[in-house]
Structure 1
Amino acid sequence: MNGNPARPSRRPAVEHAAWIFYAIAALGSTIGQIWVGVQNPPWPDTLPWWWRAAFVAPFAIVIDLGGAVTAAFADWRQRLGEAAYGWRILSAATVTVGVTTNIVGHADVAYLAVVFGGLGVFAYAIWLMHSAARRRDALRASGKIADTAPVYGLAQWWREPAVTRRARSLALAQQLPLHQSLDTARQQLRDDKRRSALATHVETLIRSRHDDPVRADIAATTLDLDAVAAALTAQADVPGWAHVIGADLLPPTPPDREAHPDVKRETAAVAGPMPPADVLRRVPQDQASYDRWRLLWAELKADPDIALAAFAQRHGISLRQVQWIRRTGASGLLDSPLTLIDRVAELAGSNGHGPHQPSSAS
């Protein structure tokens, strides 16, 4: 594309080589036609061959030069926006005459027919492609044709033809690189599909508000359904819906069969579900660690949408411990200033077992 830094240094050398090739090919084709003109016409036997060559050389040169001149005229008029059919047909006809002369005139020697005829065909084909490339470059530099799009490859076209077509248009219109144009095209197609489906539902809703089918048609036709769909998309509360749906996807809490019976009775009235036994065993029994859990739970409860990983990193604890604190706090077991073991002892004493006394050493 336009940003290729190597093109200015390589292109002149290539074009110089092309002009050298044209000169050699044209000279070879002209020699072949002169050879035919020297041998085939019924010249007098007394006329030397160099006189014959001098007589036919202008006609051979005119034929080869005429093909190049008419092709150049065609290229010039095409750069101005014309089709130039006349110049192109005349150029092709002139080259056909020269190639036919070489092939038919050297029909008795296949090698000479192939060499001289092939030189003319090969040189003319390369000239046409070369002039077409120069014409496109000139038109592109003047802004009359679009710049070239990235090359996406056959595999990409085969996998995602619709995406690749959209990406190619975006690359030409917005000068996007290959991967960015593909990403933008995929996003646009997803948005178009969603907006089209939403517009269909909006139309159905609008029609349902009118009993008269004519008024329903007027209402549905008057409104820009795509604009309504875009406005609805902009107003959608995506985080709110994600929060609601995520709450419904939480796994059920397994039944706790290993907790102490007194703990079950003490926590029967709490709002949250009972945490499993492996979590209950990790609730701190010393007052200092328990108070720290209560402080952390209060912070979690104040900001329920906080990222647990960031919370764990902030307080220097593991993510698993944060999950334990949240499950224990949600069950209500961190609401009391007393540790869990103290509340069990207090509950046992209130049931007639007496105050909790530590066992003495024997």
Structure 2
Amino acid sequence: MNLIHTGPEARISTHSQAAERVAWVFYCIAAAGSTIGQIWVGVQTPPWPADLAWWWRAAMVTPFAAVIDLGGVVTSAFADARQRLGETAYGWRALSAGAVTTGVAINIIGHADVPYLAVVFGGLGVFAYSVWLLHSAARRRDALRAAGKLADTAPVYGLAQWRREPAVTRRARTLALASGYPLHESLDIARAQLRDERRRTALAQHVETLIRSRHADPVRAAIAATTLDIDAVAAALTAQSDVAGWARVINADLVPPPLPTADPHDNEPYTAPAVGPAMPPTDVLRRIPTNQTAYDRWRQLWTELATDPDIDLQTFAEQHGISLRQAQWIRSVGPTGLLNSPTPPAVRLAELARSNGHLASPATPAT
């Protein structure tokens, strides 16, 4: 049953076949031009008898000119066949290069009096041979790849990626060739591997230092550090590390101290500190409820959070039927002291403004 492929591979194969046909056309034209140039030189340069017609001269020179160009191709074909078998084929390749060099030299030297003809016919010979070499090399690689003797090509990462992350790109290319990862996935895996390796190397150095410090005798310390698989110990430490616990401890150290607030019901005047603690962002402050019931609910939740600072916010939010974002707001506002007063901050500010006369009456328009 014949299957008709219409995917990207089929289109690539079609384009490759079209390119090969065009390459053959260019090669044949260039090879014919090089041969014509050699025949031209053969007709004019040798000391032919004066009464010998030019077409007799061309007929006698043509086989030799054709053999020179054809010999370069034939010996190159033999070299290509031996290279497919894994040989270097230096002898065949040297014969091929020698034949082509002879043909190009005949064209250049024979037309030295006319630089245009020397460049055209010599260039055609070089061009024809270059096309043949590149074409045969491409077909050889395709044959080796089809036989499983050649690695697949790696993704093209681009010059900017190589310049920006040379180590990552080199590792990504190796991963793509070894495991078949696509471009972006190979880069992500390479970054993760290099990051883990750097962390594991640094940890291994500290582990070795710790192991050596447990022995006063430097010889025993060296034996212990050499006997143990330091990398394995570092990997086990990484796997057993309590990331969440350290995050909670560090977060507790980063909680700002409470901020004293002014309350209109207090008799003591409020004195602002010289340098106040960091306040929550403005968008979080706007979330503080102005409704007394909702505000009292926030105060109750903050009291529970303050008594157990290590509680997981997600668990806390689920226990009290609130969103995780709202629990984060309460934890951010609570340490500032804005939830200490029984009156919502917005209400307190409004009462302070009225008591200071700022809301007594609209300003008299200027005359």
Q: TM-score, normalised by structure 1?
A: 0.77
CA contact (8 A) 1:308 1:322 kept: no
Matching of residue 59 in structure 1 with residue 27 in structure 2:
no
Q: Which residue of 1 aligns with 2:312?
A: 305
Partner amino acid for 1:195?
R
Matching of residue 178 in structure 1 with residue 183 in structure 2:
yes
Deviations 1:21-46 (A, max 9, x none): 22121111111111111111111122
- CA spacing shift, 1:180–1:318, aligned 2, 3 Å: closer
In structure 2, the residue corresponding to 1:146 is in which secondary structure? Answer: coil
Partner amino acid for 1:194?
R
CA contact (8 A) 1:68 1:91 kept: yes
- Kindly state the Cα deviation for residue 194 of structure 1 after the two structures are TM-superposed: 0.6
Partner amino acid for 2:260?
P
Partner amino acid for 2:226?
T
Q: Which residue of 2 aligns with 1:131?
A: 136
The counterpart of 2:35, out of the listed 30, 38, 43, is 30
Aligned residue pairs, count:
322
The counterpart of 2:197, out of the listed 180, 192, 199, is 192
- Kindly state the Cα deviation for residue 184 of structure 1 after the two structures are TM-superposed: 1.3
Q: Which residue of 2 aligns with 1:208?
A: 213
Q: Which residue of 2 aligns with 1:319?
A: 326
The counterpart of 1:157, out of the listed 148, 155, 162, is 162
- Once the two structures are superposed, the pairs formed by residues 258-297 of structure 1 within 5 Å of their partners are 258=263, 260-261=265-266
Q: Which residue of 1 aligns with 2:353?
A: none
Q: Which residue of 2 aligns with 1:142?
A: 147
CA contact (8 A) 2:108 2:118 kept: yes
- Kindly state the Cα deviation for residue 306 of structure 1 after the two structures are TM-superposed: 2.2
Q: Which residue of 1 aligns with 2:104?
A: 99
Gaps of at least 5 residues in structure 1 are 264-275, 341-362
Distance 2:324 2:139 in 1: 69
- CA spacing shift, 1:205–1:45, aligned 2, 3 Å: same
Partner amino acid for 1:56?
V
The counterpart of 1:113, out of the listed 115, 118, 122, is 118
- CA spacing shift, 1:309–1:176, aligned 2, 3 Å: farther
- CA spacing shift, 1:21–1:175, aligned 2, 3 Å: same
Distance 1:203 1:31 in 2: 77
The counterpart of 1:49, out of the listed 48, 51, 54, is 54
Matching of residue 69 in structure 1 with residue 74 in structure 2:
yes
Distance 1:314 1:216 in 2: 57
Gaps of at least 5 residues in structure 2 are 1-6, 269-279, 344-367
Q: Which residue of 1 aligns with 2:93?
A: 88
Matching of residue 229 in structure 1 with residue 212 in structure 2:
no
- CA spacing shift, 1:322–1:83, aligned 2, 3 Å: closer
- Kindly state the Cα deviation for residue 248 of structure 1 after the two structures are TM-superposed: 0.5
Distance 1:58 1:313 in 2: 99
- Kindly state the Cα deviation for residue 240 of structure 1 after the two structures are TM-superposed: 0.5
- Kindly state the Cα deviation for residue 308 of structure 1 after the two structures are TM-superposed: 9.6
- Kindly state the Cα deviation for residue 141 of structure 1 after the two structures are TM-superposed: 2.2
Distance 2:332 2:109 in 1: 98
CA contact (8 A) 1:34 1:56 kept: yes
- Kindly state the Cα deviation for residue 140 of structure 1 after the two structures are TM-superposed: 2.0
Distance 1:92 1:290 in 2: 91
CA contact (8 A) 1:293 1:325 kept: no
Distance 1:332 1:119 in 2: 89
- Once the two structures are superposed, the pairs formed by residues 7-26 of structure 1 within 5 Å of their partners are 7-26=12-31
Distance 1:12 1:44 in 2: 49
The counterpart of 1:239, out of the listed 220, 244, 261, is 244
Residue identity (%) = 65
Q: TM-score, normalised by structure 2?
A: 0.76
Partner amino acid for 2:223?
I
